[in-house]
Amino acid sequence: MSRVYNFSAGPAVLPEEVLREAAAEMLDYKGSGMSVMEMSHRSKDFQDILDAAEQDLRDLMKIPDNYRVLFVQGGGHIQFAMVPMNLFQNRVGDYILTGQWAKKAYQEAKLFGTANVIASSEDKTFSYIPDCSDLPVDEDADYVYICLNNTIYGTVFHELPNTKGKPLVADISSCFLSEPIDVSKFGVLWGGVQKNVGPAGLAIVIIREDLIREDVLPGTPTMLRYKTYSDSGSLHNTPPTYTIYMCGKVFQWIKRMGGLEAMKERNEKKAKILYDFLDESRLFKGTVEKKDRSLMNVPFVTGDADLDAKFVKEAKAAGFVNLKGHRTVGGMRASIYNAMPIEGVEKLVAFMREFEEKNS
Ligand SMILES: *Cc1c(COP(=O)(O)O)cnc(C)c1O
């Protein structure tokens, strides 16, 4: 068996320890004589897995008691629709466009009412975070929406926007559990888990209780109402049981690693190794404004598309996989999520140095 260093943006690398545990429990979960995959979602064993996952997440993120944790199928794209369907009262949402995921959320909201762009960084291919200290927030806005960490472009909000009293909704898919976060500053936080938390197929929604409404947009299907998940403990129908089990294992791994403060320290260390190299390199360049750099997704280019392709190909042969940039951006992108070990980044930088010497 040989494991590669996987820099995929998602689905992405998971902690090896977690994969080994899951493998050991595959045929017989804690004496049940079956895999978690084969278990009833109404069984005590699964209820324990679900309860522990929620509690561990609450502990890690210090989620206040007036927030609910919902396990929702359908990944990120379903949340683009669920947010307006559940939060629209005046049918107005204000969006800050910092990349493709924010833009998709904005476009989806337009299906249900008015979506305003109150700030954007599209003028410079989303290579920075706009100043959000005094935005033209609509008086009727039901919420202000951001994508906290921009997976494709590699930027992150270091400061939250001034929403002028409106609830802040944030997509945290690609920075979920990468560092501490003050949940109380948000109305809704949601993340698809396949970037930093677990296997694909699930979004976790952390929502302030008063935003879980009965009077959602007329026609909102039962399975697209936050209330359905809140009332049933995310068990209205069969949830993605195995994915939830894996997420729970990752939460426990993060706890063993020392929690979110320790994750942050480790992630900063990894990102610094890569950014320091990019800043001194004669061949490779980072593509975003330094002040807005993400800890999780690091896009870079050589400036020559053929050389980029050569790099991606040679890196792959050397065991550094999924470094090709997003199809809309080109170049390269290294996603260095929680589960990427420090030596993965160190070895990547050593490989980049070598490539630079040979090609410049
Ligand atoms: C990947 C990603 C999405 C899309 O997730 P899907 O589960 O594929 O719908 C949305 N937002 C962000 C920030 C992402 O990184």
State whether the beta carbon of 58 lies less than 6 angstroms from ligand 1: no
State whether the beta carbon of 299 lies less than 6 angstroms from ligand 1: no
Q: Ligand 1 centroid vs 192 CA: distance in angstroms?
A: 6
Closest CA to 223 of 209, 210, 239: 239
**Residue 79 alpha carbon, nearest atom of ligand 1:** 9
* 209 pLDDT more than 90: yes
**Residue 101 alpha carbon, nearest atom of ligand 1:** 11
Phi/psi at 164 (5° precision): 50, 45
pLDDT score, position 142: 98
**For residue range 258-308, what is the model confidence (pLDDT) as tens digits?**
999 999 999 999 999 999 999 999 999 999 999 999 999 999 999 999 999
Write the residue with the smallest CA distance to atom 12 of ligand 1. Answer: 173
* 311 pLDDT more than 90: yes
CA distance 360 to 354: 10
User: Choosing from 166, 195, 227, 249, which is the catalytic residue?
Assistant: 195
CA distance 304 to 332: 11
State whether the beta carbon of 174 lies less than 6 angstroms from ligand 1: yes
Q: What is the mean pLDDT of residues 199-223?
A: 97
User: Choosing from 56, 94, 101, 249, which is the catalytic residue?
Assistant: 101
Write the residue with the smallest CA distance to atom 5 of ligand 1. Answer: 76
**For residue range 120-153, what is the model confidence (pLDDT) as tens digits?**
999 999 999 999 999 999 999 999 999 999 999 9
**For residue range 258-268, what is the model confidence (pLDDT) as tens digits?**
999 999 999 99
Q: What is the mean pLDDT of residues 174-202?
A: 98
3-state secondary structure 81-133: HHHHHHHCCCCEEEEEECCHHHHHHHHHHCCCCEEEEEEECHHHCCCCCCCCC
Closest CA to 206 of 236, 166, 176: 176
Sequence letter at residue 21? E
Q: What is the mean pLDDT of residues 204-221?
A: 97
Closest CA to 77 of 112, 101, 110: 101
CA distance 172 to 174: 6
Half-sphere exposure of 231 (CA within 13 A, CB side): 11
* 102 pLDDT more than 90: yes
Write the residue with the smallest CA distance to atom 10 of ligand 1. Answer: 76
Count CB atoms within 10 A of the CB of residue 286.
Answer: 19
pLDDT score, position 125: 94
**For residue range 312-322, what is the model confidence (pLDDT) as tens digits?**
999 999 999 99
Closest CA to 283 of 340, 322, 231, 332: 332
Write the residue with the smallest CA distance to atom 8 of ligand 1. Answer: 76
What share of residues in the chain are helix, strand, coil (percent, to 5)? Answer: 40, 15, 40
Task: Read off the pTM.
Answer: 0.98
User: Is residue 195 flagged as an active site residue?
Assistant: yes
User: Could you tell me the domains of the chain?
Assistant: 16-256 (3.40.640.10), 259-359 (3.90.1150.10)
Q: Where do we find the tokens 């005590």?
A: 44
State whether the beta carbon of 74 lies less than 6 angstroms from ligand 1: no
Left, alpha or beta for 340 (phi > 0: left; psi -120 to 50: alpha)?
beta
pLDDT score, position 329: 81
How high does pLDDT run on average in the chain? Answer: 97
Q: What is the mean pLDDT of residues 15-38?
A: 98
User: Is residue 94 flagged as an active site residue?
Assistant: no
Instruction: Write out the H or E segment, with its range, that includes residue 301.
Output: strand 297-301
Helical H segments across the chain, by residue range? 16-24, 44-61, 75-87, 100-109, 226-232, 241-257, 259-280, 305-317, 342-359
Instruction: Give the burial class of 255: count Cβ atoms within 10 A of its Cβ; 0-12 exposed, 13-18 middle, 19 or more buried.
Output: middle
State whether the beta carbon of 147 lies less than 6 angstroms from ligand 1: yes
* 16 pLDDT more than 90: yes
Q: What is the mean pLDDT of residues 237-258?
A: 98
Left, alpha or beta for 114 (phi > 0: left; psi -120 to 50: alpha)?
beta
State whether the beta carbon of 101 lies less than 6 angstroms from ligand 1: yes
Residue 61, SS3 per DSSP: helix
Write the residue with the smallest CA distance to atom 4 of ligand 1. Answer: 76
CA distance 86 to 94: 15
Closest CA to 292 of 105, 126, 117, 174: 126
State whether the beta carbon of 192 lies less than 6 angstroms from ligand 1: yes
* Residues above pLDDT 70, as percent of the chain: 100
CA distance 314 to 325: 15
Ligand 1: which of 151, 157, 295, 337 to mutate, judged by most atoms within 8 Å of the beta carbon? 151
CA distance 185 to 169: 10
* 328 pLDDT more than 90: no
State whether the beta carbon of 294 lies less than 6 angstroms from ligand 1: no
Sequence-separated (6 or more) residues with CB below 8 Å from residue 252: 56
* 232 pLDDT more than 90: yes
44-61 and 259-280 helices cross at what angle (nearest 10)?
Answer: 60
Confidence grade of residue 2 (pLDDT, cut at 50, 70, 90): confident
* 1 pLDDT more than 80: no
* Residues above pLDDT 90, as percent of the chain: 98
* 327 pLDDT more than 90: no
Dihedral over Cα of 76, 81, 87, 88: its sign: positive
- More confident site: 1 or 83: 83
Q: Where do we find the tokens 């992150």?
A: 156
Sequence letter at residue 73? Q
Q: Ligand 1 centroid vs 282 CA: distance in angstroms?
A: 33
The least confident of 18-22, 65-69, 234-238, 325-329 is: 325-329
User: Is residue 253 flagged as an active site residue?
Assistant: no
**Is the Cβ–Cβ distance between 271 and 335 less than 8 Å?**
no
State whether the beta carbon of 132 lies less than 6 angstroms from ligand 1: no
pLDDT score, position 193: 98
What DSSP character marks residue 349? H
**Is the Cβ–Cβ distance between 147 and 171 less than 8 Å?**
yes
State whether the beta carbon of 249 lies less than 6 angstroms from ligand 1: no
pLDDT score, position 158: 97
